[in-house]
Structure 1
Amino acid sequence: MTQDVQQAQAGSCQNPEEALQPAFYELNETFELNSTQLILLEGYKDCGHPAVPAQQPYVFDRDRLRKLLAFFDDPMGDGLYLTGPTGCGKTSLVCQAAARLHWPVQMIPVHGRLELDDMLGQKVLDNGSTPFLYGALSIAVRDGHILILDEMDIADPSELAGLYDLLDGAPLVLAQNGGEIIPVHPRFRFVATGNSAGSGDGSGLYQGVLRQSLAWLDRFRCIEVDYPDNTTELSILEQVVPDLPLLVRENMVKLAKEIRRLFTGSSDGQGEGEAQLSCTLSTRGLVRWAKLSLRFKGAPSVFEYALEQALTARVEPAERQAIHRLAEDIFGDLWSSTDTSCPDDDLPY
């Protein structure tokens, strides 16, 4: 068996047998909170495991973090399903919490042709032999990783039916590998994300979403995730692009909120008769726009130039014009600026 296949089988550090050692982390210090309680969270020692997500600037919503950490601590036989609009931070919430606890994550991006065998593993040809290459699910169950089934509501419900017993606590059986039985590691966690709540997409915004089996959904506790509020997104931008003036960051957040309002069709009592957008500016896209604005500083109409690359170059021309008109109204003279800085008399500080 080649070294590449051996490393894929191990799915862990240089010395797999010694890699994942338990460790405890203090809540306030780890997640930059100011709770009055001293709470220790179980994770793993930092061993440079390649499956541990990279830690990035992130502002945690306290309520969602509380629910997530409670699941991490004791799932009580449940899976965890995070539901919310595209780009609102469902996956990043789990990954950034795992990064701070040094907890390896196995990610399975779901598509319409996903089969159970893709998650479990398969035999591969290697120098004339056919060793079994464990899939993300098998590795997570065996080694105590977090499994993320990303966009679960796109999966064929009949394929997911093969996982019912696993969530009920039964060991994983690999018929493809001679009936190998993998006991469920006590630190294994099953997490899924989706744009719908599992009952189909009544909004019509997300193509490919399927109605999931009630028997499957009944095995999950659920966390509803939405876009961060203005204060949180401003804090994220302050961490990621501190060189952008506050006025610019505020205008970016205002535009993002307006685009989302038109995307979801939530008028909040205003703008009756407005055309609904078929795209949105997620937090991920907002950060991309801010970074590109700094990267292309000096370009003609730098904020428009960056927004095209971050979002509007992929939308219909009419919607692109509508978004840019909104941006011009919000940014004012700054929209045609060739610099990311603001005149001194425009700065709010």
Structure 2
Amino acid sequence: MTNSIHYLPQHNEVELFRHAAGSRLPVLLKGPTGCGKTRFVQHMAEQLNRPLITIACHDDLTAADLVGRHLIGADGTYWQDGPLTRAVREGAICYLDEVVEARKDTTVVLHPLSDHRRELPIDRTGELLRAHPDFMLVISYNPGYQNLIKGLKPSTRQRFVALSFDYPTPEREVVILCQEAGIDKQTATQLVALGNDLRRLKDQDLEEAASTRLLIYCALMIGSGTPVGDACRACRRSL
């Protein structure tokens, strides 16, 4: 299969993910925002030839949003699977992006899927759903956002094989910008240098570091004809 999702490995994360998938183990991706976690999951789904179901977690995400609920239609009440249940049935990779944003009582539903049982109890229908052999659970979070209110409990965290991500090395980041935005190497090198200067200001004058994603956006604007200074200032304002 031709790979259409570009991903430049940082270390041995591709091999580790493959081994985890082959052993039917859940995976936790840890790293700052915009460093390539979601792109990595998309890449691996293509590599493994598995469907990918992505769930963007948020404060109002409930267990029913994941598992499913009864709905009322023209012919009466019927059950509709949620995205997690569909992934369990179909053998997809289910990716929960920024899982700590979800309510703690919601993430508990992941526990029986992330240990030796690999099953999903659907309380509202009485079904005990055993996961398809190809089902894989992947979650991600940014440790920098952890605080007393929002954090990933050890009882959840220790059920996963953890892969740590960070921003790419400058050399790799230059390659990524050239590849993603089609800009020349000199401009990409200057953008990466600016990004690393801004990252050194993290926790001083900036609330958040300049992510690789933000540098790609800036490079895309420059590639479309936006003056370099205007593009840099527009992206700098999002920090």
Q: TM-score, normalised by structure 2?
A: 0.89
Partner of 1:269: none
- Tell me, in whole angstroms, the C-alpha distance in 2 between the residues paired with 1:183 and 1:197: 35
Matched letter for residue 61 of structure 2? L
Is the 1:68–1:94 contact (alpha carbons within 8 Å) kept by the matching residues of 2?
no
Shift in Å at residue 259 of structure 1?
1.2
Q: CA deviation at 1:137?
A: 0.6
Deviation at 1:128, TM superposition (A): 4.4
Alignment partner of 2:21 out of 72, 81, 93: 72
Structure 1 residues without counterparts, runs of 5 or longer: 1-24, 32-54, 203-208, 266-274, 316-349
Which deviations, in whole Å up to 9, do the C-alpha atoms of 1:286-312 show, x marking residues without a partner? 1111111121x2x5xx01222234x23
Letter in 1 for 2:237: A
Give how far 1:193 is off.
0.2
Deviates further, 227-236 or 150-159: 150-159
Cα 1:69–1:115 change in 2 (3 A) is: same
SS of 2:27's equivalent in the other structure is strand
8 Å contact kept, 2:35–2:168:
yes
Counterpart position of 2:222: 293
- The Cα offsets for residues 172-224 of structure 1, whole Å up to 9 and x where unpaired, read as 22222x212322111111111000189x348xxxxxx6133222222111111
The count of corresponding residues between Structure 1 and Structure 2 is 238
Is 1:172 the counterpart of 2:120? The answer is: yes
* 1:139-218 equivalence runs, <5 A: 139-168=86-115, 169-176=117-124, 178-196=125-143, 200-201=146-147, 210-218=150-158
Deviations, residues 5-43 of structure 1 (Å, cap 9, x unaligned): xxxxxxxxxxxxxxxxxxxx7xxxx78xxxxxxxxxxxx
Kindly name which structure, 1 or 2, has the bigger radius of gyration based on alpha carbons.
1
Q: CA RMSD in A?
A: 2.3
Once residues 216 and 290 of structure 1 are traced to their aligned partners in structure 2, the CA distance between those partners, rounded to angstroms, is 38
The offset of 1:120, in angstroms, is 0.3
Greater relative contact order (Cα < 8 A, sep 6+) = 2
Q: Provide the rounded CA distance (Å) in 2 between the counterparts of 1:190 and 1:164.
A: 11
Partner SS, residue 69 of structure 2 = strand
Q: Which residue of 2 aligns with 1:277?
A: 206
> 1:89 and 1:134 mapped to 2: Cα distance?
29
Residues in 1 aligned to 2:162 and 2:155: alpha-carbon distance in whole angstroms:
14
Q: Is 1:219 aligned to residue 159 of structure 2?
A: yes
- Once the two structures are superposed, what CA deviation does each residue of 1:295-339 show, in whole Å capped at 9, x if it has no partner? 1x2x5xx01222234x23345xxxxxxxxxxxxxxxxxxxxxxxx
Alpha-carbon distance in structure 1 between the residues aligned to 2:12 and 2:107? 29
Equivalent residue, structure 1, for 2:233: 308
> What is aligned with 1:109?
56
1:278 Cα offset (Å)? 1.4
Q: In the alignment, what sits opposite 1:98? A: 45
Q: Summarize the alignment of residues 236-275 of structure 1 with structure 2, pairs less than 5 Å apart.
A: 236-242=176-182, 244-263=183-202, 265=203, 275=204
Where structure 2 has 5 or more consecutive residues not aligned to the other structure, the ranges are none
Q: Percent identity?
A: 27
In the alignment, the residues of structure 2 paired with residue 288 and residue 261 of structure 1 have an alpha-carbon distance, to the nearest angstrom, of: 20
Rounded Cα–Cα distance in structure 1 between residues aligned with 2:48 and 2:112: 28
Cα deviation, residue 170, structure 1: 4.5
- Aligned mates of 1:282, 1:183 — CA distance in 2: 39
Structure 1's consecutive aligned runs of 4 or more residues displaced over 4 angstroms after TM superposition are none
